[in-house]
Amino acid sequence: MTAYGVLRSEWVKFRSIRAMLGCLAGAVVAAGSYGYLFGMAAARDYLAAPAADRAAFDPTETAFRALVLVGVLISAAGALTVTSEYASGTMPVSVTAVPRRGLLLAGKGAVVALATLLTGPPLALLSLTLSQAALAARGVPSVGPGDPGVPGALLGAGLFTGLIGLYGMALGFLLRRSAGAVSLGTFLLVLPGMAGLFPEAVARWIVTWWPSAAGARLFAVHPGTEGLAPLAGAGVLAATVLGLLCAAAALFHRRDA
């Protein structure tokens, strides 16, 4: 067992799970369609707003809003790399091939992280392009991928999807069932969208500190002064994912395979 060998082995497994294609296709559709819809909604708001509010309009705010929904599919993809092995009964076979379970988990994690890291920026670019096109079509101010702060946000989106992929994988190891890992992963990711249901103090805490909301600061083009700084937000998400990975590794090591 070499780290390189385990990495290649996990890559062969990853590329032969067909649901990955479904997740990727779903992520492309979500990035494009929600990007466009968020752009349309922002254009309507802009055109209905008084001049004073129009001056404060930031077209980049709508650009990457779709990424939280993309994250749902990325998280599912991460979970499936693990739960597909439990569902098909191949986990014991994998563990006999690589009995050092920490190495097995690390190999899987490296493949998931790399694949989801690389899909983030193109998806973010798609969402940006369609949302800005929706704005521009109505004569509303818009930005392009080369505008100040935008390239950084595109890279930040990659970091975000990479972390979310690992988050899904960790849930897969913890819960071992596709339905459980995917639905819990989705619920926890979109919770900030339901913050309005909570008392105001709780809601404010959620939109600031909840890991998926904090991580979303990674693709804020103009972070402003409200909420966490992009790197602090990334730190919150990364620490959460690391905690989940440690729990996953401990349980994977202890449980019978």
Partner 1 sequence: MIELRQLTKRYGEVAVVDGLSFDVRPGAVTGFLGPNGAGKTSTMRMILGLDRPTSGSATIGGRRYADLPMPLREVGALLDAHAVHPRRTAFDHLLSLAYGNGIGRRRVEEVLGLVGLADVAGRRPGGFSLGMKQRLGIAVALLGDPPVVLLDEPVNGLDPEGIRWIRTLTRSLAAQGRTVLLSSHLMSEMALTADHLVVIGRGRLIADTGLEAFVRSAARQAVLVRTPDAPRLASLLREAGAVVRPGAGGGLTVTGLSGAEIGGLAGAHGIVLHELTPWRASLEEAYLELTGDSVEFASSPAGAVS
Binding site for partner 1 (CB under 8 A): 1-2, 5-6, 8-10, 12-13, 16-18, 84-85, 88-90, 92-100, 107, 254, 256-257
Nearest CA to 253 out of 101, 104, 92 is that of 101
Separation of CA 240 from chain center: 13
Q: 51 vs 254, which CB is nearer to partner 1? A: 254
Query: What is the DSSP-derived secondary structure letter of residue 191?
Result: G
Q: 92 vs 243, which CB is nearer to partner 1? A: 92
CB of 253 to partner 1, least distance (A): 10
CB of 115 to partner 1, least distance (A): 15
Query: What is the DSSP-derived secondary structure letter of residue 219?
Result: G
CB of 170 to partner 1, least distance (A): 21
Q: Helices marked H in the chain — which ranges? A: 3-15, 18-48, 51-55, 60-63, 67-88, 91-97, 101-137, 150-175, 178-190, 200-209, 211-215, 230-254
Q: 55 vs 254, which CB is nearer to partner 1? A: 254
Nearest CA to 153 out of 165, 145, 142 is that of 145
CB of 62 to partner 1, least distance (A): 38
Q: 216 vs 248, which CB is nearer to partner 1? A: 248
CB of 256 to partner 1, least distance (A): 4
Please state, as a whole number, how many other Cβ atoms lie within 10 Å of the Cβ of residue 205.
Answer: 14
What backbone phi and psi angles, to 5 degrees, belong to 154?
-65, -45
Q: 90 vs 229, which CB is nearer to partner 1? A: 90
